[in-house]
Amino acid sequence: MPLIQVIVLAVIQGITEFLPVSSTAHLIVAPWLLGWQDPGLTFDVALHVGTLVAVAAYFFRTWLQIILHGFGIQYGDDETMRQNPRLLWLLVAGTIPAGIIGFLFEKQAESTLRSPFLIGAMMILIGAVMWIGERVGSRQRDLGTISVGDSLVIGAAQALAVVPGVSRSGITITAGLFRNLDRVAAARFSFLLATPIIAGAAVKKLYDVLKHGGISAEMHTPFALGIVVSGLTGLAVIAFFLRFLQRRSLNFFIYYRIVFGIMVIALAASRPPAG
């Protein structure tokens, strides 16, 4: 696998996994447009591990506080965490819908649901839903007020991300806005909720790789480089996006999704993907 392809795809993964624009859509469309072969399952594992490292590193202290609070141990100085000691169990409850849907529809997500027409349509549709969420939510609540109802609604929304083009962060942040969370709280809850799902996907895919003979010698360098590049990129993007949301809306990403979706549909109509 050429190293330039490794770097480009790892950067795309690191950027789009945490922005509300769908990493799956971009990782399907980019090789198609550039004429690259599918990088395969092994490299997919590297990208998942890289983004897992990014989100786990950024939220390490937050996760430590959440876990300890979940077992009744006071730790940390984040006041919103102190206000909601049940957050660990709310995250567990919110993870269940995506775990079930991901297990049931994994094969479809990697085959029949990868149509560029579906990807383009989902980019536009979820962009429209994000636009509505921006305008109807009161944005008056923080993580300290998250309830069971919030967790289940946002978790159910995360399950929809099995469809390429939806975007896990896009749909969960929007669900948070519909539940009147402020933008930063919605994004933080989205990233926390994504952590076990990303971890589960990485473990499952790594198991599949090991079951089929492990990482081949020629993939050692691309595998390691993919983890490092996607991890560092993802870490920078999380920090940027949370700062961005302190003062700005999701409008830029809404417009980007709609334009990108229209372009994908137009290109698919004029240049169908091979095979």
Residue at 71: amino acid letter: F
Nearest Cα neighbor of 91 from 58, 72, 69 is 69
Go through the chain and tell me how many residues it has.
275
φ, ψ of residue 56 to 5 degrees: the values are -70, -40
pTM of the model: 0.92
- Reading the block at residue 86, the tokens are 């049940």
Query: How far is residue 227's CA from residue 243's CA, in Å, rounded to a whole number?
Result: 24
Question: CA-CA distance, 265 to 253, in Å (whole number)?
Answer: 18
* Rounded-to-integer distance, Cα 30 and Cα 35, Å: 8
Give me the residue label for tokens 């409850």.
Answer: 93
Helix, strand, coil tally for the chain in percent (to 5): 80, 0, 20
> pLDDT truncated to tens, each residue of the chain (275 aa)?
889 999 999 999 999 999 999 998 999 889 888 888 888 878 889 999 999 999 999 999 999 999 998 898 888 777 787 888 899 999 999 999 988 988 788 777 777 778 889 999 999 999 999 999 999 988 999 999 999 999 999 999 999 999 999 999 999 999 999 999 999 999 999 999 999 999 998 898 888 888 888 888 898 999 999 999 999 999 999 999 999 999 999 999 999 999 999 999 998 888 765 54
* Residues 184/143, Cβ–Cβ less than 8 Å: no
